[in-house]
Amino acid sequence: MKYEKIDKGLYIHNRSRFVKRLKPNSIAVFNSNDIVTTSADSTFPFVQHRDILHLSGVDQEESILVLFPDCFEQKHREILFLKETSDLIAVWEGAKLDKAQAFETSGIQTVYWLNQFDSVFKSLMSETENVYINTNEHTRANTEAENREDRFIKMCKEKYPAHNYERSAPIMHEIRSIKHPIEIELMQKACCITEKGVRRLLAFIEPGVMEYNIEAELMHEFLNNRSKGFAYTPIIASGYSACVLHYIENNKECKDGDLILMDFGAEYGNYASDLTRCFPVNGKFTPRQKDVYNAVLRVKKAATKLLVPGTYLNEYHVSVGKLMETELILLGLISEEDVQNEDPAWPAYKKYFMHGTSHYIGLDTHDLGLWTKPIKAGMVFTVEPGIYIPEENLGIRLEDDVVVQESGEPINLMENIPIEVDEIESLMNQ
């Protein structure tokens, strides 16, 4: 791993929060992700399943975590099953975790090799009543492809049909949404690496550079700072492309007079950052660009203050919509009449601001979290309003990552990243 060792106390804490929410006499099982083939003998880089990572810190394939807090044998209340390392694996792939290293990573004392799973699991199932299975219940999930977790669930239900099956997902949504201080530190590290990328771009962007040149500059900076790279596919969108919300081609020339919208973030230790900034390609905003930019910035600042404990996200988004409505009227993009005659299901402001303002962020860029429960301290959200005017070849979105506090405004993990017009122009023209 490129990232520095993470304190195993984080994973001990996370497991304790999880097992407290289980029914009596319950077992829970978490599987690693598959290694996915591209074609021939090539594979995508391995990405660990975020739930087993959150509960154990184990960042390798073919791993299983079993939690059985009421097990008669104390040593079987937490078990890791790992792919057994060997001299051959060490030569061809690099050594996998041995049992001592697995303990130092996770804080779990009992570690078995994967070929022992069936026999050990069978004995545990004879003792338990409830089995917590780990289905993907993210509201944006694409679950068409069968994965290791799906295959385990199918096998388990066929082999042990008389057991009662429960869902781990609601618990994971709850506990993963509130971040431990160690997690906040890791996310701050990711944001600091992102800041280095931004400052590199302020000195690099000029008319004639290609969008992919900008992407390359960021990757260079990220890799040099212990990041694996981008937390998600970056958007580097100049001119009209900024009005395409998920533009990822990044293959056009940045032209004099255009703004460029850049939505990217470094990962660190598998934690994501998520930032959006808009810079003038030539280093100077036009009066119109500045007016629209500052309108978005005002909405962002006001929206951030609304992320307080007790608020529901759906109510929050309605409030942000009202803020944007006011700005769009002042910009002459919509009128009071448009608002009066709007379809309540698609308010007038949606013509120019059609996406949500905030989402959970953490181990996933769109992290787990419940919209049916109020915001709590320790949750981390993006704040990312935008205005998109295709007829003007102008799209502006501004985004930071913030931590909700017990009282007062959220802490902005990206507060040191330039965002004011004057600072951006000054840095670009040094």
Question: Running DSSP on this structure, what letter comes out for residue 404?
Answer: -
Same fold across 9-177 and 181-428:
no
Beta bridge partners of 267: 272
Q: Which residue ranges of the chain lie beneath pLDDT 50?
A: none
User: In this predicted structure, what is the pLDDT of residue 144?
Assistant: 84
Mutual angle of helices 9-19 and 181-202, in 10-degree steps: 120
User: In this predicted structure, what is the pLDDT of residue 371?
Assistant: 93
End-to-end CA distance of the chain: 37
> Domain spans of the chain?
9-177, 181-428
Question: Running DSSP on this structure, what letter comes out for residue 178?
Answer: B
User: In this predicted structure, what is the pLDDT of residue 86?
Assistant: 81
In terms of DSSP H, where are the helices of 93-180?
Answer: 99-106, 117-125, 148-159, 169-177
9-177 falls under which CATH superfamily?
Creatinase/prolidase N-terminal domain (3.40.350.10)
| Closest to 265 in 3D by CA, of 217, 194, 212, 195 | 194
Residue 280, CA atoms < 13 Å, CB-side half-sphere: 23
Q: Say yes or no: domain 181-428 is CATH 3.90.230.10.
A: yes
Q: What is the pTM of this model?
A: 0.96
Residue 71's alpha-carbon distances to 28, 65, 75, 127, 387, in angstroms, are 12, 15, 9, 7, 55
User: In this predicted structure, what is the pLDDT of residue 92?
Assistant: 85
